Structure 1
């Protein structure tokens, strides 16, 4: 199996860090992806079906992504409706990267909430199909939710909100993920599925960032990570949302305290005033967070993130390419000497495309490379 992009690790060190869960291996059909400490930054991209009428359109996106000049290291199927052939199967076949899902999306019913048997069956079905990781929102608990009354926006997480709605619909003493924790873990361990511990209470405005609610959730997420590890389950962790650049260093210190867990930020979105330009704002936030060593895999966020629109294939490409700029920038920092040697013989700008002593279309005869030629 081919492992993507990681040329700069020591095998012995890699094995040790996998044993301590500082690095996770996400398995795909055509290539695996390593995520974690001291590795290159990775990219996750997402597709998803919101209505059966859009099935052909979403399938077409996957087929086109497979031919992008930059492929994501992982992908997520965020579908909220079931189909005979799930999108994650098409991703596995056509792209072959590790695939993640949020199984709660498929199992929620507006009137009845979540049926335990259907939920466990869906988890096992997806695990059997080769899903690499699942996002589960264990932190969707009433104790934290009741504190959100003073927030600008109480909850922005779709998965977390569904777990909470089910909690109230079925009058559970604790949410379904905690109630059937052991059953879920047995399935995940059997099929070696990695858990991405989701964030229910990530802030959706800068003014909610690092409030008591988010701090409570970070502590609970870490407890869940430890509980999963004790069960023999490999874990990652999600976080952030909207947070200003000035708060990011504090946030990274909080998530890195006590132990290292591979981390996938949602965003971070460092401004509330970039609607329609989320691929840009996320690139800024992700770059800074990764510089602080707070990110191991970033999301390719599209410009539709806050518009309610369905991402087009063009905006997905734009998002992946924007994320790749972040990855290149960070990896140039993390592995500068290695990259410097690799790039010595590459020309990554116009580099004096001289024709008859005339430079590029912009500079013409004033091209600085005319001088460079003279010096040579």
Structure 2
């Protein structure tokens, strides 16, 4: 092999199979794709050990992608249930799955997930470390943290979320700043606690080159985690969040020097009017690296409906520069999501992603909508169902309330405007009482 990573290949002018696949999916010339990959503004997460991957590109000029979180925990450790979620997530069109497992047979689940999924797979190794070693967080050594990372990449994980920006400088900013919700990132809080207990630097920051060695060897994308993402709209765009983003920008340049692909993770909770500016800030401070956002959730008062608060923020974020949306389910802040919760979250995120692609003028994005509009104008229900983002739900709604006449619905009946105009164009009389 004449290259180490997809970025290295792009910089050397080598067209890989993954690049050809992504260029075809995106209706893009492979030369244009390679130019963006060489600069770091587009990535193709594809671990060499993930043999069945159907690669996707993430970054500027490409379709907005979505990620689904799942995994086993101490309270919900049924691998079969989580694998059923995997199959449904793939069926519903998720391009990425993150395994957030932190208890029990985590490696067994991860290996099964990689084998089952053609979508790209991400993990957060520090979640796994405590359960893996069965000892207190503060007693885990730097070497032990890295051994867990190596196990994940050996299993075929395509991208790793690691909170390298949670260093001493960032921690000092947290200590001085009066945040309402402090640290809400699980990985960020674990590393912050480890640093405090051991009076030591974050090992993933201190030994960052060792992490890059691992990523380069397996061509694993580094997803630089947002340990200081705002957990409330009160804390959005504060000095703590920005301090970490500055650190992530410097780490991005160091990764690119090694041809390691990078994406940046971002907020969190954020008022609607702050989102666009935050996207610009990230792109500027992190040199155009792809931006992977959780939400942003635009209000804090809708538990049970946070898939909606997230989709609102996600649409604005993706229309303003974000490239990758992490789904949020109605169960966010409340419990581990069920299969139905997961479905609601996926559809909400896909709506946000597609709406942003339309707003961004992505070639072909409107074609799907135009086909649906034509089906509606024709009152072609079967075509409408087949074009629906969730065909099953659309059919169920239609069947639950059948109209008197097939060329209408139970909302308007014969007074349906589309029916009226269609009949006029066909030269038919409009009789509302027949």
TM-score w.r.t. the length of structure 1 is: 0.91
Closer/same/farther in 2, CA of residues 110 and 23 from structure 1, 3 Å limit: same
Conserved 8 A contact 1:352-1:360: no
1:144 aligns with 2:170: yes
Residue 375 of structure 1 aligns with which residue?
A: 425
Superposed CA RMSD: 2.4
SS at match of 1:31: coil
Distance 1:270 1:120, change over 3 A: same
| Aligned counterparts of 1:340 and 1:212: Cα–Cα separation in 2 | 39
2:82 aligned to which of 55, 58, 70: 58
Q: Can you list the C-alpha shifts for 1:311-346, whole angstroms capped at 9, x where unaligned?
A: 001000110011111122122233466344565554
- Structure 2 matches for 1:60-75, cutoff 5 A? 60-66=84-90, 68=91, 70-75=92-97
- Where structure 1 has 5 or more consecutive residues not aligned to the other structure, the ranges are none
Q: Give the drift of 1:110.
A: 2.7
Secondary structure of 1:282 counterpart: helix
Q: Distance in 1 between matches of 2:235 and 2:218?
A: 38
Match of 2:303 among 255, 262, 275: 275
CA shift at 1:137, angstroms? 0.3
- Partner Cα separation in structure 1 for residue 371 and residue 295 of structure 2: 35
CA distance in 1, matches of 2:66, 2:158: 15
Q: What whole-Å deviation, never above 9, does each CA across 1:253-282 have from its counterpart, x for those lacking one?
A: 211216211010111011111122110000
Residue among 102, 115, 119 paired with 1:80: 102
**For the Cα contact (< 8 Å) 1:31–1:97, is it kept in 2?**
yes
Name the counterpart of 1:156. Answer: 184
* 1:236 alignment counterpart: 263
The answer to whether the 8 Å contact 1:133/1:195 transfers is yes
2:415 counterpart (335, 350, 366): 366
More displaced stretch, 252-261 vs 79-88: 79-88
Q: Deviations over 1:181-207 (max 9, x none)?
A: 222211111000000000111111111
SS of residue matched to 1:86: helix
Hey, what's the Cα distance between the residues in 1 that align with 2:162 and 2:406?
A: 61
Larger strand fraction of residues: 1
CA distance in 1, matches of 2:78, 2:66: 25
Matched, 1:10 2:37: no
Supply the distance in 2 between the matched residues of 1:71 and 1:247 (Cα, whole angstroms): 29
Structure 2: gaps spanning 5 or more residues: 1-17, 382-403, 427-434
Cα deviation code 1:265-307 (max 9, x no counterpart):
11101111112211000000011111112x1010111112112
Residue 46 of structure 1 corresponds to: 69
Aligned equivalents of 2:68, 2:378: Cα separation in 1: 32
Write 1 or 2 for the structure with the bigger share of helix. Answer: 2
Q: Of the candidates 343, 363, 386, which is equivalent to residue 317 of structure 1?
A: 343
Cα distance between partner residues in 2 of 1:12 and 1:111: 47
Alpha-carbon distance between aligned partners in 2 of 1:352 and 1:111, rounded to the nearest angstrom = 61
Match of 1:306 in 2: 333
Matched residues in 1 for 2:89 and 2:367: separation? 30
**Correspondence list, 1:159-308, <5 A:** 159-172=187-200, 174-257=201-284, 259-293=287-321, 295-307=322-334
**Residues 232, 269 of structure 2: 8 Å contact kept:** yes
Determine the C-alpha separation between the residues in 2 that align with 1:189 and 1:159.
23
State how far apart, in whole Å, the 2-side matches of 1:23 and 1:304 are: 32
Q: CA deviation at 1:50?
A: 1.2
Report how far residue 16 of structure 1 moved.
Answer: 0.8
Task: Compare CA radii of gyration and give the structure with the larger one.
Answer: 2
1:189 aligned counterpart, secondary structure: helix
